[in-house]
Every structure is written in C-alpha cells, then in structure tokens.
Amino acid sequence: MKNIVILISGSGSNMAAIAKAAEKEAWQAKWGLRVAAVISNQTQAKGLALAKSLGIATETLSHRSFDSREAFDTALMVRIDQYAPALVVLAGFMRILTPGFVAHYAGRLINIHPSLLPAFTGLHTHQRAIDAGCQVAGTTVHQVTAELDHGEILAQAVVPVLPGDSADTLAARVLTQEHLIFPQAVRSFFERGG
C-alpha cells in the first residue's frame, strides 16, 4: 500500500477533490494508493471535519505551540512519518517549510499554487495577475523545493481573466480548475513511478 498524507490549513476543498477522485477511480484497488491521513496546523480548519466525513484519519499540530519553524517542522515530520508516506501533498497548507523538511521528503512532496508558475510566486496571486493586466491566470501543481513556489511543474491549468474580475471571482474560477488538475497530478505522480 502506498500512503498519501495531505497537509491542509483551511477548507480542504483540494484535499477533498483528491480523496473523492481516489474513491471514484478506485486508486486503492488499481494502484494500491490511499489517502492515509490529513494533518492540519490549524485546529479549527474546516477541512478536518470534511476529511473525517470521508473516512480519513485526521490530526492537528498547531505551529503556534512551537518556538521555531524548525521545531514545528521536526514535530510535523514525526506525525507524517508514522504513515510511511509515498507522497506528501500540500493542499492549501499555509506554511513555508524549512529546508530540512523539504529535503526529508525530496521527490515526494508536491504543492498546488494559484498562479501559472513561475509567475506570481507567494501570496495575493489573483490580485497581482489582475493588476499586471494579465489576459490569463491559472494554477500549477509542482514538486516542492527549498525555494518558494519553484520546482518541477507537474500540471497547469489556464483560466481567462475577465473584464471586471476581482481577486475573489478570479480565485473562484481558478479553484474549479485546481479541483480537476490536482487529483490528476497525484495519480500521474504514481503512474510515472513515484
């Protein structure tokens, strides 16, 4: 069995898209893949209840309980490693990870970012795309490296920036594409031998 551990900080909609695709497409029967756990750094993250409703084990580990980023990441690795993950998925996990964490999961750590990388790394991507006059925006699934929002691009989806778009309307359109490409990218990771 190849375990997937998903890290979230909020609503968990991308986590749910992956978990529902795994169930609908019978990933466990076909490829021996399962979403083993969802871990959040936010104890009140709405995605935790959603994961539980999907029958997935959940855990929380608040970064606020630690004196340093390194201490939190070390404790988080202990939590993740109990599931012996073949893949760790960052699905709206709003923490910048330490180089030690990234190195520990090198080659098996992926993230989704709400822009067409390499454009608009970091935060406020939708407003920045609008302010720059972009005709298109989108989302990227990528391997995680020590450099923020870099790493090999695994999948991208493009959406138009429409006249009158706000950051919220553009974000909503991008999110619908995230829900499509993220499960596909996870499946493709394993199909390529991940």
Residues with Cβ < 8 Å from 118, sequence gap 6 or more?
149, 150
Residue 136: what pLDDT?
98
Percent of the chain whose predicted confidence (pLDDT) is above 90? 97
Report residue 122's pLDDT band, with 50, 70 and 90 as the boundaries: very high
pLDDT tens track for 5-15: 999 999 999 99
Q: The whole model's pTM is what?
A: 0.96
pLDDT tens track for 161-172: 999 999 999 999
pLDDT tens track for 45-65: 999 999 999 999 999 999 999
The arrangement of strands across the sheet holding 33-40 comes to 57-60, 33-40, 2-8, 85-90, 109-113, 136-143, 153-160
Residue 16: what pLDDT?
98
In the beta sheet, which residues pair with residue 88? 5, 109
The answer to whether 42 touches 10, Cβ cutoff 8 Å, is: yes
Q: Give the residue numbers marked as catalytic.
A: 113
Report residue 138's pLDDT band, with 50, 70 and 90 as the boundaries: very high
> What is the rounded distance in angstroms from the CA atom of residue 36 to the CA atom of residue 89?
11
pLDDT tens track for 86-106: 999 999 999 999 999 999 999
Average of per-residue pLDDT across 114-132? 97
Residue 193: what pLDDT?
79
pLDDT tens track for 171-193: 999 999 999 999 999 999 998 87
Report residue 27's pLDDT band, with 50, 70 and 90 as the boundaries: very high
Report residue 78's pLDDT band, with 50, 70 and 90 as the boundaries: very high
User: Which CATH code is given to the segment(s) 2-124+139-158+181-191?
Assistant: 3.40.50.170
Residue 51: what pLDDT?
98
Residues with Cβ < 8 Å from 60, sequence gap 6 or more?
39, 40, 41, 42, 43, 45, 48
For residue 194, pLDDT beyond 80: no
Q: What is the mean pLDDT of the chain?
A: 97
